Structure 1
Amino acid sequence: MTPAAIPERNGGQILMQQLRIHGARRVFMIPGESYLPCIDALNEHTDAIEPIVCRQESGAAYMAEAYGKLTGEPGICFVTRGPGATNASIGVHTAFQDSTPMILFVGQVGNDFMEREAFQEIDYRRMFGQMAKWVAQIDRTDRIPEYISRAFAVATSGRPGPVVLALPEDTLWGRARVADLPRYPRVHSHPGAADLARMTQLLDAAERPFLLLGGNGWHQSAIDQIAGFAERFELPVGTAWRRLECFDQRHPNAAGHVGWAMTPALRQRLRDADLVLAVGTRLGEATTEGYTVIESPLPKQKLIHVYPDAAELGRVFSPTQAIVADVASFAAAAAGLAAGHAEPRGQAVRAAHQELVDSLAPLPSPGPMSLDEAAAYVDAHVPADACITVGAGNYALYPHRYRRYAGPGTSLTPTVGSMGYGLPAAISAKLEDRNRTVVCYAGDGCFQMNMQELGVALQYRLGVVVLVFNNGIWGTIRAHQEREFPARPIALSFENPDFTQIIRGYGGHGEAVERTADFGPAFERALAFAQRENLPALLEIRYDANGISPGETLMGIREAALARAAH
């Protein structure tokens, strides 16, 4: 097309057309006057791009981050300048530490007002500099296609992550004749033949190898390929902290969830391993339990570290072998490898899986309402492909322990441990697949950080089921407090509203549950309502705060701390 034939468009029209070309199907947003041309341009793309009007920017950013996890494509979020950007920053921080592709567009004051501390003005390069892969400001209307194409490439290449683009008003209102750029190319990194040969030798020579999976980019065929690889090489398979969807926990090679609060048997199995093959995971603090199970900088086990970004390899751990490859490309390559280990390792695989199966039996808990029993009931009564979302708090350890996750899309949870994530993530999951059962686990404190997003579930008719765990305290912090300052609780409790009344205000179904025997019937009613009415349902689970995590009580933590202090 000749320059004269290119239609003149404003910046908002150019930007939205570019998003469409790059495959954006949904944008999560809080409307703001600072990017009005973008909002208006959505009128031209209602057949391809669905705008989701959220209630607060943190909820919008969380939904976009969850979209990135679910699809592998950048989640798109639009917020206004100043307060909108600061509210959305939690989603950017989550996307960075979770290695999730995401693009946050922020309205900005016009260039003619820049550097005067104009109304809501912030320098976003400085603000987001340490929590995004790339932060930029588009100062020329004719360069919008260039910036958008680069944003998609940066967000998805190497270690995926968030990009932040500021949009000055004069850039969006300005007009230009500029050609659209084609859809961005997805870059994949593949293991070399020499890498695979050396890895095979190390695996064949090992006596107690362990395969640890994590990161983003897993799809069903990649999981199937890595499962076949694990079967041939007789490897127990663990999933890294809050990457529960990376492997089917019902598979006979599954060994469980690796990280904080893992079972003692799994912890010991990792410590005793003579080789760890870590694929897609950064081996962060949570997965390694403070860099103790796998030590930094030099692990006691031989470590083969497979990761899509060379800059991460050798940064925290000194590996025996480092392989630059994304998870899907590695799984495809591993599917063609033949094992040659001399000694059979099947008994260890079977023992590891049996330990996982044994851990699914609910542990005893204080009081008439058992969270262990409730989580086990959910596992047994939702489909294998159901999506379970959680935020942050000790209540999350129950679905982590008792749910057998089955693969891509079955878990949405922030590895960064950010509260308020569960409900927005559940909404994003339901928008992505309205036929999928979606259950959100939320603590009473966690839920109240973003419960206003129930309005999105109401507006878009999304039948999510929310389990609110009401113990009236900041439970995780109380547990830490009892360990460090036993018997001196202060500033950790709060009085809650009646959550069952709140959900009814949003057109949903609500019940309070105080006994284990009542949970199952109430859960079935909530599921049925959500599926029938396409509206949210909520169970407020009131339980004894002493039951702080599976198999552990606050009083037990306190007594152990007092005993240590006495000696």
Structure 2
Amino acid sequence: MTQLMPAPTRQAEPTHPHPATETAGHAIVRVLEEHGIRRAFVVPGESYLEVLDGLHDSSIETVVCRHEGGAAYMAEAEGKLGPLPGIAMVTRGPGAANALVGVHTAWQDSTPMVLFIGLIPLAHRHKEAFQEFDVDGWFAAGAKSVVTLDVAERAQEVVADALFLARAGRPGPVVVGLPEDVIRESIERHPQPQLPVADGGMTAHDLDALRDALATAEKPLFVTGGSDWDAQASARLTRWLERHRLPAVAEWRTEGIVPFDSPSYAGPIGYGRPKPTLDVLEECDLLVFVGTLPGDVITNGFLVRQGWERRNFLVSIDPTLRGRSGAVSHHILARPSAFARDLERIELAPDDRRAEWTARLREQQVAFSALPGLEPGAGRASMATVMAHLVPQLEHDALVTFGAGEHTNWAHRYFPTRAYPSMVSCGNGSMGYSIPSAVAASLHFPERQVVSIAGDGEFLMNGQELATAAQVGATPLVVLVDNQEYGTIRTHQERRHPGRVSGTQLENPDFAMLARAYGGHGIAAERDADVPAAVEEALRLWREGGRFVLLHVVTEQREQAY
């Protein structure tokens, strides 16, 4: 009998498993996640559905905004709050146009931000397709870089580069275009490491030059500003200034780098500034700008501190010093964090003249920021009374946001900026910034008290983002100053054309009712006698948590903070 032998076992051929794949849209989200991005501010569009789908299972919080301008402002504010760029996502054409205001804000404030814009398919280009626009033509003049993802395989690299470019050198906005067909393509998945950002620092020559300049100055003054700070740099600089009894003023809308209560803090400087802080720019014999430059706002339209004999040290990571005016005695190529670190290597001998100079400037600031009286007056509600009752009850680390208008001066003068960051605003004078930035700040620091001081005209440009606040659980306390006009323009109008008010008057809704309709608490104070109780109620409701609170303050048209 023949025995059947088993068939020989066929040797398995060696396998080469394909690397994991994902769509380019999903890769974009993954790289953002791996680089530490916590949230994205979006207005959805069919042009970038693949990215929205990637966000579905991501740890990144998707904040759905009501307008692309609001989303861009929120991302810009997130970039200011640090340490990573803020992320906004919008669709093509009209969506991109609406987001441009946030890019301009980030450009002028040197804020790291990345704007992703969904685009038409590649095959539809240059055919006047639906919502087609020229992304380079629109954004190239006001962004650090504009990149269109034309090759799907580069998605991961493009995102990492964008996050790096937004922070490298002088920070700013980066725009990334995403053609809708490209982001649907499958690509190989691979890690994309973060690119380190250089901080610069003081060389031995820099240290010697600054030490000698400070040692020979009788009236030195530091000017702090910009968006490129962190809490450690703020604390280091403050300790060093206080130890050497040296003064510092804050650039317009960037208070809180040197805390409000510091004996070295000499007040804000910029538009609407108190006159003494303008005079000291001419009087001081050494200026050290840290994180900012002597631009037109600080120098009152390039009129102050312009002589070439002046001693001005500029501490900036931007080698071009774009935006500066006047003399430059020495340029230190460093971020504020590196400068504050290296500054600790400079020790100065005590000097009574410098101490007296600092004490004098501090005395002026203390007098300027002294709160008004608590007793209400007759007539309409007054912001002076609001601040008198609100400020003493604020949390120690309270943070304020605001946009543009004369109502912002109440924050400049009285708000106690004690814990960096504690003031988030826009140096380009962009109206509509207050509410979106308050939403971003409340999400970024849920444990802190976020106060927004908004004007009526400004609020009506992006106040609908309170619906976003209600949806995502942001809980700012909004003080809405309702003087029924575009106050700043009215002031300029009265100077040029006195008595001829034109195009500046407003008829407003019931803002407290509007706040309740959006899902928050709304309280109104129309008479000054109503203010103390209204402030108490607003603070009580805010402490209960869960919802935003809006205090509607109906004021006289011409009430000024200073």
User: Shorter-chain TM-score: which interval?
Assistant: over 0.9
Residues 376 and 247 (structure 1), Cα distance of their counterparts in 2 relative to 1, 3 Å cut: farther
Of 269, 288, 298, the residue aligned with 1:258 is 269
1:190 Cα deviation (Å)? 1.1
Question: In structure 2, what is the Cα distance between the partners aligned to 1:463 and 1:176?
Answer: 41
| Alignment match, 1:504 | 516
1:42 Cα deviation (Å)? 1.2
| Alignment match, 1:112 | 123
| Alignment match, 2:7 | none
Question: In structure 2, what is the Cα distance between the partners aligned to 1:314 and 1:43?
Answer: 42
Instruction: Indicate whether 1:487 and 2:499 are aligned.
Output: yes
Question: In structure 2, what is the Cα distance between the partners aligned to 1:22 and 1:249?
Answer: 34
Of 531, 539, 542, the residue aligned with 2:551 is 539
Query: Unmatched 5+ residue regions in structure 1?
Result: 552-567
| Alignment match, 2:91 | 80
Instruction: Indicate whether 1:336 and 2:349 are aligned.
Output: no
| Alignment match, 1:565 | none
Whether contact under 8 Å (1:306, 1:322) holds in the other structure is yes
Amino acid in the other structure paired with 1:83: P
1:299-319 C-alpha deviation (Å, 9 max, x unpaired): 553100110111116953330
> RMSD of the TM alignment (CA)?
1.9
Instruction: Indicate whether 1:28 and 2:48 are aligned.
Output: no
Question: In structure 2, what is the Cα distance between the partners aligned to 1:299 and 1:522?
Answer: 53
Q: Tell me which moved more, 225-234 or 255-264.
A: 225-234
Question: In structure 2, what is the Cα distance between the partners aligned to 1:469 and 1:239?
Answer: 24
Of 284, 288, 301, the residue aligned with 2:310 is 301
Q: Tell me which moved more, 372-381 or 422-431.
A: 372-381
Instruction: Indicate whether 1:460 and 2:478 are aligned.
Output: no
Residues 124 and 231 (structure 1), Cα distance of their counterparts in 2 relative to 1, 3 Å cut: same
Residues 3 and 25 (structure 1), Cα distance of their counterparts in 2 relative to 1, 3 Å cut: farther
Aligned-partner SS, 1:246: coil
Whether contact under 8 Å (2:378, 2:528) holds in the other structure is no
Amino acid in the other structure paired with 1:166: G
Residues 533 and 210 (structure 1), Cα distance of their counterparts in 2 relative to 1, 3 Å cut: closer
Whether contact under 8 Å (1:463, 1:531) holds in the other structure is no
Whether contact under 8 Å (2:39, 2:60) holds in the other structure is yes
Whether contact under 8 Å (1:386, 1:436) holds in the other structure is yes
Q: Tell me which moved more, 164-173 or 504-513.
A: 504-513
| Alignment match, 2:234 | 223
Whether contact under 8 Å (2:295, 2:323) holds in the other structure is no
| Alignment match, 1:37 | 50
Of 126, 134, 146, the residue aligned with 2:145 is 134
1:29 Cα deviation (Å)? 0.2
Question: In structure 2, what is the Cα distance between the partners aligned to 1:107 and 1:15?
Answer: 13
Instruction: Indicate whether 1:475 and 2:487 are aligned.
Output: yes
Question: In structure 1, what is the Cα distance between the partners aligned to 2:286 and 2:275?
Answer: 19
Aligned-partner SS, 2:448: coil
Q: Tell me which moved more, 176-185 or 249-258.
A: 176-185
| Alignment match, 2:30 | 17
| TM-score (norm: length of structure 2) | 0.93
Amino acid in the other structure paired with 2:222: L
1:527 Cα deviation (Å)? 2.3
| Alignment match, 2:435 | 423
1:515-535 C-alpha deviation (Å, 9 max, x unpaired): 334323212211222332411
| Alignment match, 1:564 | none
Instruction: Indicate whether 1:59 and 2:91 are aligned.
Output: no
Instruction: Indicate whether 1:447 and 2:456 are aligned.
Output: no
Aligned-partner SS, 1:225: helix
Amino acid in the other structure paired with 1:142: E
1:453 Cα deviation (Å)? 0.6
| Alignment match, 2:166 | 155
Question: In structure 1, what is the Cα distance between the partners aligned to 2:537 and 2:323?
Answer: 51
| Alignment match, 2:356 | 347
Aligned-partner SS, 2:395: coil
Question: In structure 1, what is the Cα distance between the partners aligned to 2:537 and 2:47?
Answer: 44
Residues 10 and 444 (structure 1), Cα distance of their counterparts in 2 relative to 1, 3 Å cut: same
1:511 Cα deviation (Å)? 1.8
Question: In structure 1, what is the Cα distance between the partners aligned to 2:147 and 2:93?
Answer: 16
1:217 Cα deviation (Å)? 2.6
Amino acid in the other structure paired with 1:450: N
Amino acid in the other structure paired with 1:513: A
Whether contact under 8 Å (2:231, 2:421) holds in the other structure is no
Whether contact under 8 Å (1:138, 1:168) holds in the other structure is yes
1:126-179 C-alpha deviation (Å, 9 max, x unpaired): 100111110110101101111111111110011100000000012111111252
Of 400, 406, 413, the residue aligned with 1:401 is 413
| Alignment match, 2:367 | 358
Q: Tell me which moved more, 365-374 or 376-385.
A: 365-374
Question: In structure 2, what is the Cα distance between the partners aligned to 1:533 and 1:359?
Answer: 33
Amino acid in the other structure paired with 1:40: D
Of 224, 235, 250, the residue aligned with 2:246 is 235
Aligned-partner SS, 2:385: helix
Residues 3 and 505 (structure 1), Cα distance of their counterparts in 2 relative to 1, 3 Å cut: farther
Of 404, 408, 411, the residue aligned with 1:392 is 404
| Alignment match, 2:299 | 288
1:263 Cα deviation (Å)? 1.5
Question: In structure 2, what is the Cα distance between the partners aligned to 1:407 and 1:17?
Answer: 33
1:43 Cα deviation (Å)? 2.3
Amino acid in the other structure paired with 1:248: P
Amino acid in the other structure paired with 2:265: A
Q: Tell me which moved more, 361-370 or 270-279.
A: 361-370
1:270 Cα deviation (Å)? 2.0
Residues 366 and 289 (structure 1), Cα distance of their counterparts in 2 relative to 1, 3 Å cut: farther
Question: In structure 2, what is the Cα distance between the partners aligned to 1:285 and 1:550?
Answer: 22
| Alignment match, 1:322 | 331
Whether contact under 8 Å (2:83, 2:230) holds in the other structure is no
Amino acid in the other structure paired with 2:533: P
| TM-score (norm: length of structure 1) | 0.93
Residue identity over aligned pairs, in percent, reads: 37
Question: In structure 1, what is the Cα distance between the partners aligned to 2:130 and 2:403?
Answer: 34
Aligned-partner SS, 2:98: helix
Question: Which of structures 1 and 2 has the bigger CA Rg?
Answer: 2
Query: Unmatched 5+ residue regions in structure 2?
Result: 1-14
Amino acid in the other structure paired with 2:428: V
1:328-376 C-alpha deviation (Å, 9 max, x unpaired): 0000000121114655411111111111110123569995432223224
Number of residue pairs matched? Answer: 545
Aligned-partner SS, 1:310: coil
Whether contact under 8 Å (2:43, 2:68) holds in the other structure is yes
